[in-house]
Every structure is written in structure tokens, then in C-alpha cells.
Amino acid sequence: MIFQKRILYKALASPILSRLLKLLALPLLPISLYAAFIEPYRLRVRRIRVKALCEELRGLKLAHISDLHLNALDRRYRRAAALLRSLSPDLICITGDSINSADGLGPLHEFLPMLRAPLGVFASCGNHDSPLLGEKEVFEAHGHHFLVDEARAVEFHGVKFWVLGLHFLTTASGALEMLARLPEDAFRIVLAHNPDIYDGLSAAVSVRSGCPYTASAPCLDLDPRPVSSGSSAPGESPAPRPHCLTSRSDCSLDSPVSTLVLSGHTHGGQICLPFYGAVLTASRTGKRFESGLFPAGSFLMNVTTGVGTFFFDARFLCRPEVCLIELI
């Protein structure tokens, strides 16, 4: 063993090997510097246009951001807030992981006043969030909504639509039970941090037309309760294999959308390879939902690459983004 170690040390000390390693590392240095100090701050806007469920909802604009992972209020978050102001959305949706721990509550207090939208700011719970940390109270202190298995009615041009925020641990069958309590013909926005919920939801959503709902109830409280395990509701047919319509570019869809699911969690992988995409994601389905649009009839899921980073503060070929979704 000692003899083998001596051989290894001698090989590593070899001038030839040292020069070879330097030559190999040289091209990676600018890539590493770019990934660590440039791309995490190069926020982009991805614009999505979808057909409204009814005439009254045409023109509704919502902004979707996710995975802030706030530790300190650096320039990427100020840039995100400035982009949101310039886009003038009617409502802003944040799909979880706003902070990493209780240490992020201070920066969150500073960031939330920068967010303003006429119809409100709505956030859901990610795997790094916890109502026990006091995050809900921070959102509410600034007039925003932190929804934990709770739905709120929002009015636009006299028509009510619903925003449902899911807890990270809520399964698809639990989400379907909550959706079943919402008006049948209403447009629904579901804030679900983890895109793995797709199969159980998309298969059960039927194509609907019309948008007559004008009831006045402002809030429907859907308290968390035990639900059956698994990713789909009992007795439902297998979900169609998801087709990613686009993950990097602007897009328009001609089919009416009745249920819009907004997700994050994957960060788009943070580190991507050319012609391949994400090296790793936090999803149990791997690259299946790394980022992009996933339509299924009147159901549509958007998975964003997020704003912040986690584990290591770097991005490569996976820019942070703000998504702007407009109903036409």
C-alpha cells in the first residue's frame, strides 16, 4: 500500500502530468467563471400566450417566478423585481422555495415590498418552505397571499377565476379533491411546486368551455387533510405521456386552457449541456419535466427554471427567468 502511494505521489508530482492537467483545466476556467459570476444574474423573460377560456379573461397577464432561495438580497432579485414592474402583470405567482431557512426571512421582508400587482401576489409552499417558519406571516404583512392547500377567488372584468396553492407534500389525488370543490366552469390556476404532480392532474382534467362563474365568494379554505398515496386519483385512466412544447423560447398556444399549473423545483437543472439539457434535476422523474410547457387538452403546465440557485450558486446554459403568461 505504501509503495502504491509513493508511485501515485510521484506521478502527481510529474512536471509532464502537471502541465497536462493545466492544459485540460485552462478551457474550463472561463466556463467556470461565467457559470459562477455571470449567468446566475442574466435573467430573461419567457413569454407565453394561451387562449383564454372565455372572452372576459382575454388580456389577463400573470407573471410566474419560482425558487428564489433567498439568503441575501443581491442584484439578481432586484433585477427580477425590476423586470416584474416593467411587465406590469395583473397578478404574480410564486411557486415555492422562496427561502432556504429562517435566515431568509429578513431578505424576504426586503424583497416582497418590491412586488406589486393589481390582482395580488400569490405564493405556494415548496420543499424548503414551512408555514412553521413564519413565512406566511411575512407574506401577509406585505399584503400578499401564502396559500397552503387553500384557494382564493380573483375577479377580472367581472369574472371570477381561482388560484389554488398546494403544499409541497400534497399529492395529485389530494389536489383533485380540492379542485372538485371549485366551480366547474371556472378558470383555475394551480401553484404546485413539484411538477411530478402532472400525471395525476392532467389525466383527470376534462375539456370545458364557457366561463360563466361570477359568484362573489372571495375565498375557499381547503384545509390540508390526509389523502391517499400515489400520483393519480383512484380509478383514473393512465396519463398521456407529456410532450414538452418548448423550454427555452416564447410560445403561443391556440387551444383554450381551463387549468393552468405553475411549477418550479427543478431549476431547469442549473447546469446543462448543449443538445442534452439538464445534467441532474431534483425531480424523481429525472429530465422529464426539467423546464418548459406541457399541454394535455385543456390542461397546461409551465415549469420555470426559477430565479435563484441551491447547493451551488452557479448556472450554465440555464438562465434564470421570469415567465409572463397572457390570455388571448
Contact present, 246 and 190 (Cβ < 8 Å): no
Angle CA 259–294–291, to nearest 5: 120
**100-139: per-residue pLDDT in tens?**
888 999 999 999 999 999 999 999 999 998 777 889 999 9
Q: What pTM did the predictor assign?
A: 0.84
Q: Class of 45-327 per CATH?
A: alpha beta
Q: Is 297 left (phi over 0), alpha (psi -120 to 50) or beta?
A: left
Strands 61-65 and 321-327: antiparallel
Tell me the C-alpha distance between 68 and 99, whole Å.
6
pLDDT recorded at residue 225: 32
Assigned C-alpha cell, 35: 457559470
Mean pLDDT by runs of 10 across the 328 residues of the chain is: 50 59 70 92 96 95 97 95 97 96 94 98 93 88 96 96 96 93 93 93 63 39 35 43 64 88 96 91 87 91 96 93 97
**273-328: per-residue pLDDT in tens?**
998 999 988 888 888 899 999 998 889 999 999 999 998 899 999 999 999 999 99
pLDDT recorded at residue 197: 92
pLDDT recorded at residue 214: 40
**What is the secondary structure of 26-64 as a DSSP string?**
TTHHHHHHHHHHTGGG--EEEEEEEE-SSGGGTT-EEEE
Assigned C-alpha cell, 312: 451551488
pLDDT recorded at residue 165: 97
Assigned C-alpha cell, 253: 398556444
Q: What is the dihedral angle through the alpha carbons of 216, 219, 221, 222, rounded to the nearest 10 degrees? A: 80
